[in-house]
Chain A
């Protein structure tokens, strides 16, 4: 009896200890975030450079880190990625003002670059003097976006986001739509509205459980990306309420959602969105060049070879990012060299060939291998030719410091209401404007 009790007690203690250990392990794993601390050299004398990014930049996937490490045997590169920029960016600002917790290189989204250059300029290194980096390496508008008022170049352009439309050949065929990319482009030539109209055609014979496009957010992003002015005018005044282009894009997206043309994936880069890509739940998606990498990443082998790419109704730019080197980093000089190398024309061309992110460098865009680029995830698709053509149609956009806040609220406090069947488009517009006004008011 006694021994039975002791074993029982021992078992209880063991269970408790195991739980406690699990708990401690859970806490301990948080330490990984503190990447700034473990820079410096490790025991083998190598310098570790931390690269902090969001979403899919594709450097790792395209093997560029490995290549750089081979060229510079004393460098080790470690990348940390946050899925959504919305979570990444506030943390970046906090780290910048604290001067700690920063990676040696930090990615900056185009929606935030205006705020970074206007408020955080002194926290980033001027990269124009770094070997291999030059303003001339980038499209003039891209270089201007990455520069401060006094001419410091603090953000090196990684890529730009010329638009195309990606479509699933298998779903188009099942719904009786043409699958040849030129004929597909004819469906919506000239007007984003025609793209939504084609969706109604698709819906009539759509395979069960599939929708025309991912979500109202995608439709809105696509349509608004063709406009030169969006949320602020040239002098920085907010015009998101009165700009007819914004309202038109909003209404188009709301109509698409209300007509049941969307797969109701909510916001892009979320779990439901990823799952919809993986399971082939929609037939078209607005496709800036970098989206190809995302489609490949989330779609996996199941969707390999099923996507094709067509010229969009209008040229536009959605996204494209920058790399900056925080002044507070421990290995600034080495980090600047790496950032310059990663964004140099040759590497941008390689990135395009492997991942599809379109070069922000005219020299790279002019390279013959860009036009002939092929990607085995999108076999037979001359995507180099398509994106080169649409890149030429990009309007020079006026960007504002708070573009991200405005755009996000149009989607999450407005269009999602329509997609979830809670509001009509006017009600959703009012709700969105109310949320934006509140968010912008200091």
Chain B
């Protein structure tokens, strides 16, 4: 309010010499001032919100939309990393060739497998942990903060540590398994062992994040639901199944969508998990995700156009996931 006040008083004080006139047309002036004030107020209400969100959209325009469209433009060309500005029009060839590109289909399959292997256990564990944290616990703040620490570490740091743990000759996991007579496992070389390795990193990083989201949603469930369930003789497990889970449905959908998008873009973990450091995802391409294949085409093989087409396919798949989730959440809302 004070700021609007100063706006209104400002003009008269600027024109200090107009004092006599001010006396004469006092009534008219106040009316005009009031009118102006209400107009400013209306503008403020109407346009200020746009001003406040503008920075986000400006940044989105520069670092989100523009690159997106430019990538789309590049994907219709043959472009090489050695000369990114020389573009040769090739139409949809970069897309059509993906249909017969075994490496692309492999990457798609791997992305799906890794997505399931990392998302399902992660969300189940998060649900269980959130349930436990929802009890009255000593030092609950400590546990909640601790849950979030993996999320706060960088992908690179976490992956490098895990790559060491999963090391063939000197890794801690093989050392530990050695006590049970298990021979050294070449984690990164094996088809499934490497996928387990990558999934473990993802699970480790994201379980805590989803736990806190579930916990927040659980705390919003009215206590009387549990009380009446308890009066009806429901055990804690039954309460979890029949009160907690149904109330969490929208939250679960949200985490599933967010995790699927994350899984689709999986990149840093499989890149750094590879002891060779390459983007091929192991000798058999057994953990080469779409993100990695995109990077391999664009930067290792230096074909930016081909990489851009893969990026756009990835984008379209993400849009499909988004549409599916909207459909499902609408149906959920209806059945509620």
Residues of B within 8 A of A90 (CB): 81, 299-300, 302
Residues of A within 8 A of B189 (CB): 416, 420
Main secondary structure, interface of A, reads helix
Are the CB atoms of B82 and A120 closer together than 8 Å?
A: yes
- Nearest CB in chain B: distance from A215 CB, A: 11
A93-B82, A97-B83, A420-B283 in contact; A412/B141 too (CB < 8 A)? Answer: no
Chain B residues with Cβ below 8 Å from A267 are: 275-278
User: Contact between B276 and A270 (Cβ–Cβ < 8 Å)?
Assistant: yes
Task: Give the Cβ gap from B147 to chain A, nearest Cβ, in Å.
Answer: 12
User: Quick check: B101 and A408 within 8 Å, CB to CB?
Assistant: no
In the bound complex, CA of A83 to CA of B278 (Å)? 13
Would A412 and B283 count as touching, CB distance under 8 A? yes
A23 contacts B by Cβ under 8 Å: yes
* A413 close to B (CB within 8 Å): yes
Complex Cα spacing A416 to B169, Å: 17
CB of A442 closer than 8 Å to a CB of B: yes
A26 CB-CB contact with B under 8 Å: yes
Residues of B in contact with A, size category = 35 or more
Q: Determine if B81 and A93 form an interchain contact, defined as CB atoms under 8 angstroms apart.
A: yes
C-alpha gap A262/B65 in the complex (Å) = 50
Given A93-B81, A120-B82, A442-B78; A266-B299 close (CB under 8 Å): no
> B78, A266: Cβ atoms under 8 Å?
no
| Contact indicator per residue, chain A 99-111, by CB within 8 Å of chain B (1) or not (0) | 0000000000000
Query: For chain A residues 276-319, which have a beta carbon within 8 Å of chain B?
Result: 276, 279
- Of B101, B153, B305, which one neighbours A438 at CB under 8 angstroms? B101
Query: Considering the complex, which residues of chain A in the window 177-222 have a beta carbon less than 8 Å from any beta carbon of chain B?
Result: none
B322 within 8 A of A: no
Write the nearest CB–CB distance from A243 to chain B, whole angstroms: 21
A23 and B275 within 8 A (CB): no
Contact B275 A442 (CB under 8 A): no
A426 beta carbon closer than 8 Å to chain B: no
Q: B227 interface residue, CB < 8 Å from A? A: no
For chain A, residues 400 to 442, give those with C-beta under 8 angstroms from any C-beta of chain B: 405, 408, 412-413, 416-417, 420, 422, 434-435, 438-442
Q: How far is the CA of A63 from the CA of B92 in the complex (A)?
A: 55
Residue of B nearest to A87 (CB): B277
Give complex CA distance A86, B154 in Å: 23
CA distance A94 to B85 in the complex (A): 12
Interface membership of B269, Cβ < 8 A: no
Is A272 touching B278 in the complex (CB atoms < 8 A)? Answer: no
Chain B residue numbers with a CB within 8 Å of A442 are: 78, 80, 303, 305-306
Residue A80 is within 8 A (CB to CB) of chain B in the complex: no
Assess A413 versus B81: contact at CB under 8 Å? Given A270-B275, A272-B168. no
Interface residues on A, range: 35 or more
- Contact A19/B167 with A120-B82, A266-B276 known, Cβ cut-off 8 Å: no
Please tell me if A275 contacts chain B, counting CB pairs below 8 Å.
Answer: yes
Segment 76-113 of B: residues with Cβ below 8 Å from A: 78, 80-85, 101-103
Q: Is the CB of B300 within 8 A of A416?
A: no
Query: Any chain B CB within 8 A of the CB of A115?
Result: yes
Q: Do A12 and B142 have beta carbons less than 8 Å apart? A: yes
| Chain A residue with the shortest CB-CB distance to B88 | A442
* Cβ contacts A67-105/B at 8 Å (1 or 0 each): 000000000000000011011001001100100000000
Look across to chain B and name the residue whose beta carbon is closest to the beta carbon of A440.
B301
Tell me which residues from 114 to 168 in chain B have a Cβ below 8 Å from any Cβ of chain A: 141-142, 145, 149, 152-154, 157, 163-164, 167-168
Known: A119-B82, A120-B82. A86 touches B278 (CB 8 A): yes
Give Cα distance in the complex from A23 to B154, angstroms.
8
Determine whether the beta carbon of A417 is less than 8 Å from that of B276.
no
Say yes or no: A26 contacts B157, CB within 8 Å.
yes
Q: Closest CB of chain B to A116's CB: distance in Å?
A: 9
Q: Is the CB of B157 within 8 A of A417?
A: no
Contacts of B78 in A (CB 8 A): 442
Residues of B with C-beta under 8 A to A405: 300-301
Contacting residues, chain A, for B153 (C-beta < 8 A): 23, 26
Q: Which residue of A lies closest to B160 (CB)?
A: A271
Binary A-proximity of B168-189 (CB < 8 A = 1, otherwise 0):
1110000000000000001001
Assess whether A19 is in contact with B284, with CB atoms less than 8 Å apart. no
Contacts of B303 in A (CB 8 A): 441-442
Interface contact B169-A275, CB-CB below 8 Å: yes
Q: Does A129 contact B (CB under 8 A)?
A: no
* In contact, A271 and B300 (Cβ under 8 angstroms): no
A60 beta carbon closer than 8 Å to chain B = no
- Given A97-B84, A420-B189: A26 touches B154 (CB 8 Å cut-off): yes
Mask, B290-318, CB within 8 Å of A = 1, is: 00000010011111011000000000000
B101 neighbours in A (Cβ, 8 Å):
438
CA distance A94 to B81 in the complex (A): 7
A422 pairs with B142, CB closer than 8 A: no
- Give chain B residues whose Cβ lies under 8 Å from the Cβ of A420: 186, 189, 283
Residues in A with CB closer than 8 Å to B164 are 271
A440 contacts which chain B residues (CB < 8 A)? 301
Complex CA gap A97/B84 in Å reads: 7
Q: How far is the CA of A38 from the CA of B285 in the complex (A)?
A: 40
Q: Does A66 contact B (CB under 8 A)?
A: no
B259 at the interface (CB under 8 A from A): no
Q: When the two chains form their complex, are residues A438 and B103 in contact, meaning their CB atoms are under 8 A apart?
A: yes
Any A CB within 8 A of the CB of B289: no
Given contacts A90-B299, A93-B81, A93-B82, contact A271 B283 (CB under 8 A): no
Task: Please provide the chain A residues from 233 to 278 with a CB less than 8 Å away from any CB of chain B in the complex.
Answer: 264, 266-267, 270-272, 275-276
* Complex Cα spacing A440 to B306, Å: 12
A37 to chain B: which residues have CB within 8 Å?
Answer: none
Please tell me if A372 contacts chain B, counting CB pairs below 8 Å: no
Contact status B167-A272, CB under 8 Å: yes
Q: Which residues of B contact A94 (CB under 8 A)?
A: 81, 299
Smallest CB–CB gap between A422 and chain B, Å?
6
**Chain B window 15-54, contacts with chain A (Cβ cutoff 8 Å), 1 for yes, 0 for no:** 0000000000000000000000000000000000000000
- B258-287 with Cβ < 8 A to chain A: 275-278, 280, 283-285
* Residue A15 interfacial (CB < 8 Å): yes
Listed by A's residue number, 8 A-B pairs whose Cβ atoms lie within 8 Å are A19-B149, A23-B152, A27-B154, A84-B277, A276-B169, A422-B284, A435-B103, A439-B301
Known: A12-B145, A442-B305. 19 other contacts (CB 8 A): A8-B141, A26-B157, A86-B277, A93-B302, A97-B81, A120-B82, A267-B277, A267-B278, A271-B164, A275-B169, A279-B169, A412-B280, A412-B283, A416-B283, A417-B284, A420-B189, A435-B103, A440-B301, A442-B306
Pairs A-B, 9 closest by C-beta atoms:
A416-B283, A119-B82, A90-B299, A267-B276, A439-B301, A420-B189, A12-B141, A417-B283, A97-B84
Residues of chain A having any CB pair with chain B under 8 Å: 8-9, 12, 15-16, 19-20, 22-23, 26-27, 83-84, 86-87, 90, 93-94, 97, 115, 119-120, 264, 266-267, 270-272, 275-276, 279, 405, 408, 412-413, 416-417, 420, 422, 434-435, 438-442
